[in-house]
């Protein structure tokens, strides 16, 4: 996918944008619209299919021979279009702070943390050791976009997050990071101590937490 997505120029980009505006289209329809041959369009579509950007969809049968193949965008193609979620989050944080004050913003952060805690605690049920707990927590954080891993070191464990998917929001609201440290401590339980050793917002290359048995 990466090679084609990185070079979506000309006809391939036009096909992607055309399919974004329609439920689906056939190769002949696209060929007629773009002034290309059916063969050329099919080659582009097959390349985009290999890149997992488009997919075939079966058309209803009319009872007269094989129905034409329809093409539509695959879910992965969504990443090719502008995404303003990060900007929206930062705007919402600023709006809450401006309209309701810092105390209300802190309450929102606490409520979010409580929901995360319930999710994490549920996922850690049945973990037999601290190591297993940290490994499960790393998997959860990776599923949220943090590219996390659990590392065993001398006498302690490390939870390392190589990416922060909420970086813009964290820059605007430091309480999000403070809540996460407390969240890890409660989720992993009183038998361990959790300390943040590296922090992206403080100039670190990543966020890293040391988990030490009490």
pLDDT of residue 1: 46
Residue 4 has pLDDT above 60, yes or no: no
Residue-wise pLDDT for 103-156, tens only, equals 999 999 999 999 999 999 999 999 999 999 999 999 999 999 999 999 998 888
Distance between CA atoms of residues 192 and 210, nearest Å: 10
pLDDT in tens, 10-39: 888 889 989 888 888 999 999 999 999 999
| pLDDT-wise least confident of 77-86, 91-100, 118-127 | 77-86
Q: Taking residues 54-61, report their average pLDDT.
A: 79
Residue with tokens 């094989």: 66
Residue 120 has, within 13 A of its CA and on its CB side, a CA count of 25
When pLDDT is cut at 50, 70 and 90, the band that residue 2 belongs to is: very low
Query: What is the model's pLDDT at position 125?
Result: 94
- Return the pLDDT at 153: 84
Cα–Cα distance, 9 to 27 (Å, whole number): 18
pTM: 0.67
Identify the structural domains of the chain with CATH numbers, from first to last.
Answer: 2-80 (1.10.10.10), 85-213 (3.30.1380)
E-assigned strand segments in the chain? 25-26, 54-57, 70-73, 148-153, 156-161, 192-198, 207-213
Average pLDDT, the chain: 88
pLDDT-derived band at 76, boundaries 50, 70, 90: confident
């Amino acid at each position: 996918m990466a090679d084609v997505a990185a070079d979506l120029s000309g006809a391939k980009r036009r096909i992607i944008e055309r399919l974004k505006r329609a439920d689906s289209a056939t190769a002949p329809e696209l060929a007629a619209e773009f002034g290309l041959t059916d063969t050329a369009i099919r080659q582009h579509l097959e390349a985009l299919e290999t890149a997992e950007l488009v997919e075939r969809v079966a058309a209803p049968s009319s009872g007269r021979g094989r129905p034409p193949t329809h093409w539509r965008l695959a879910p992965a193609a969504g990443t090719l279009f502008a995404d303003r979620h990060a900007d929206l989050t930062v705007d919402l944080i600023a709006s809450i702070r401006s309209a309701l004050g810092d105390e209300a913003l802190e309450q929102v952060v606490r409520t979010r943390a409580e929901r995360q805690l319930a999710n994490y605690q549920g996922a850690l049920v049945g973990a037999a050791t601290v190591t297993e707990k940290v490994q499960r927590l790393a998997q959860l954080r990776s599923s949220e976009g943090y590219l996390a891993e659990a590392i065993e070191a001398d006498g302690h464990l490390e939870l390392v997050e190589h990416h922060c998917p909420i970086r813009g929001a964290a820059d605007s609201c430091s309480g999000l990071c403070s809540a996460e440290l407390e969240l890890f401590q409660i989720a992993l339980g009183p038998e361990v101590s959790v300390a943040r050793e590296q922090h992206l917002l403080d100039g670190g290359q990543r966020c890293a937490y040391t988990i030490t048995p009490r």
